[in-house]
Structure 1
Amino acid sequence: MPARDALSERLIPLQRLRPGDHAFVSYGDDEVRWEAVTAFVRLGLARGEKVLVLPSPDVPEEEVLARIDFPSRSTVRARRHGQLAVTSMRELIRPDAVFTAARQMGQLHAATDRATAEGYTGLRAFIDMGWVAALGADVAAMARRETGAHALFTGRPYTEVCAYDRRRFDRAVLTAMEQAHPRVALERLGSLRTVHGPDEAVAFVGEADAANQAGFVRSLEIALSRTAAARRLTVDLTRLHFLSVGCAVGLLTLARGAAGHDLVEVRCDRGQHRMLRRLGADAVPRLAPREVVRPC
């Protein structure tokens, strides 16, 4: 469904997170949680980052590793060499027994520096917020940490996902925590969201693949209908993790047939721009692909 709230600008696929990003994600299903953890870990390892996983305290390390490694033992080497570690908030703040934002952030700041000194490209951490109840932490203190952690991220090679189990936190806390994070990750891998901006601009977030092609094309048809009077439409593809050839062809076909429009501007990254040109974008007079770089 289209979204028009403040969330729209912060929503991003988990696979598009990069150093400096601090993201909220929530889940209400254990399988969804493990999909997110596994993708986050494997992408970090592939990018040469050091990776920390802080699971919910009630989940044993053996289960975490079994989930991440399924169906193969792909992280054994990374664990052996110290690139991947499963730890806990209790370990992170040691020797302190009580959580404080200053102690936690200081430890993560130092861990990021150690990671780069060891030759890694940065540090990323997946933190399941089940630790809050386990340590008896104050929710207000946690909120202050989430809104005041800029020094961990600004200009630094650190990426963090804070995962909230909707079965453990009430709705007011979840809403506040979602608003406290600069980024909000899509809950499900493989999903596609359509969000609308000023002047009926349409942005796609997630994966525009074969499974989502009908929805992708339908959203474009609706956007073209809504912008008929203005005679121009802006389409933003920069928050897609994947754009299939079928969806790209659908976009070109609709732009070619949009006789009532003077301009269909497509904001895209380098790979998407290359694909559109190879598929014939230059032959569509009213189509204007524009390569953009996400601001740091």
Structure 2
Amino acid sequence: MLTVQPGDHIGATFLAPAQFADATVTFAEQALAASAQVMVFPGDPYRDRLDEFRRHLCRRSRTVAAAVADGRVRLADSRAVQLAPGRFDPDHLHRAYAGATRQAVADGFSGLWVSVDMSWAARVDLEALVDFEAGAAGLFTSRELTAICHYDSRIFSEQQVAAACQAHPAGLQDRSPLRHRRLHDGRTLSLSGEADLANSAAFAALARELRPGDTLDITAMTFLDVRALATIVRVHTATAGVRIRAGRSQSRLLDLIRAGGS
């Protein structure tokens, strides 16, 4: 499993509830080591049997068991949070995650780490779901919110899973996940890792975060495919005053894209 860092937004798949539980335990152990609070949203069959799933987690890890006992790890029903308005509402979700993150920090934690079975979104329009996942980029910029979104391959089709995972900057097996942060000047968006088809929607959403006068620093990126390079060129052209900080080889590739008219 990926060594998770604060601010990661991870897309994952699973085939059985035990896989979701195992990934959640590993994720929670990393969160606790980072002094974060953990929220877990199980899906079926445990959504209606949270106590049973709580015991399930505790049997897998003494560290998690201790944290469950003192409230550092909490379980909740997605119907009472993600679907609290009675329908899919991206604005509600952004407010809910932002508010819960602020509360965790106010309570003395380094941040909030969330592991969620995305089965609650099984009936959500795919385009709307992808837009929400990719558009959540700003929630993670401060690195106080970290999340892993688990998609059940028994419920979501191969097409749905692929599209949803492309809206996440990172995957569980990534060797060089896409990560971002705002530098102290508040005007520089710094990216690292790789941008390719696997996170194409997430990369495009990050590029849209740029404001007039901002700088996009890609010097720490280890790979950008043609699609990502073209996205940078389009944003640079369309957004007034955006500056690109790139390495020599990256600059040459961007020049080639410009010359090709993309």
TM-score, shorter chain, exceeding 0.5: yes
The 2-side partners of 1:95 and 1:168 are apart by 22
Per the alignment, in what secondary structure is the counterpart of residue 85 of structure 1? strand
Partner of 1:69: 58
Partner of 1:165: 152
Per the alignment, in what secondary structure is the counterpart of residue 19 of structure 1? coil
1:51 aligned onto 2:23: no
Whether contact under 8 Å (2:28, 2:64) holds in the other structure is: no
Whether contact under 8 Å (2:25, 2:64) holds in the other structure is: no
1:28 aligned onto 2:15: yes
Residue 65 of structure 1 and its aligned partner are, at CA, apart by: 1.3
The 2-side partners of 1:72 and 1:160 are apart by 20
1:92 aligned to which of 75, 81, 87: 81
1:156 aligned onto 2:143: yes
Partner of 1:270: none
Query: What TM-score comes out, normalization by structure 2 length?
Result: 0.61
Specify the code of the residue in structure 2 equivalent to 1:112.
T
Written as runs of structure 1 = structure 2, the 5 A alignment for 1:1-296 is 13-14=1-2, 16-59=3-46, 60-71=49-60, 74-93=63-82, 95-133=84-122, 136-186=123-173
RMSD: 2.5
Specify the code of the residue in structure 1 equivalent to 2:154.
R
Specify the code of the residue in structure 2 equivalent to 1:150.
A
**Considering only CA atoms, is the larger Rg found in Structure 1 or Structure 2?**
1
Q: 1:87 and 1:170, CA in 2 relative to 1: closer, same or farther beyond 3 A? A: same
Residue 130 of structure 1 and its aligned partner are, at CA, apart by: 1.0
Residue 174 of structure 1 and its aligned partner are, at CA, apart by: 1.0
Structure 2: unaligned runs, 5 residues or longer: 177-221, 223-262
Which structure 1 residue ranges, 4+ long, deviate > 3 Å from structure 2?
A: 71-77
Deviation string, structure 1 residues 93-143 (Cα, Å, up to 9, x no partner): 47511121111111111111111111001110001111113xx43333211
Q: 1:74 and 1:117, CA in 2 relative to 1: closer, same or farther beyond 3 A? A: same
The 1-side partners of 2:157 and 2:102 are apart by 35
Whether contact under 8 Å (1:100, 1:141) holds in the other structure is: no
Specify the code of the residue in structure 2 equivalent to 1:185.
L
The number of aligned residues is: 176
Per the alignment, in what secondary structure is the counterpart of residue 70 of structure 1? helix
Taking only the aligned residue pairs, the percentage that are identical comes to 29
The 2-side partners of 1:72 and 1:94 are apart by 30
Residue 80 of structure 1 and its aligned partner are, at CA, apart by: 3.9
Q: 1:184 and 1:71, CA in 2 relative to 1: closer, same or farther beyond 3 A? A: closer
Q: 1:35 and 1:93, CA in 2 relative to 1: closer, same or farther beyond 3 A? A: closer
Residue 90 of structure 1 and its aligned partner are, at CA, apart by: 1.7
Higher relative contact order (CA 8 A, sep 6+): 1
Residue 73 of structure 1 and its aligned partner are, at CA, apart by: 5.2
Structure 1: unaligned runs, 5 residues or longer: 1-12, 188-192, 195-235, 237-296
Residue 43 of structure 1 and its aligned partner are, at CA, apart by: 1.8
The 1-side partners of 2:119 and 2:112 are apart by 21
The 2-side partners of 1:76 and 1:182 are apart by 30
Query: What TM-score comes out, normalization by structure 1 length?
Result: 0.54
Deviation string, structure 1 residues 57-106 (Cα, Å, up to 9, x no partner): 43121232122111565444423432111012222147511121111111
Deviation string, structure 1 residues 244-290 (Cα, Å, up to 9, x no partner): xxxxxxxxxxxxxxxxxxxxxxxxxxxxxxxxxxxxxxxxxxxxxxx
The 1-side partners of 2:85 and 2:76 are apart by 15
Residue 175 of structure 1 and its aligned partner are, at CA, apart by: 1.0
Specify the code of the residue in structure 2 equivalent to 1:186.
Q
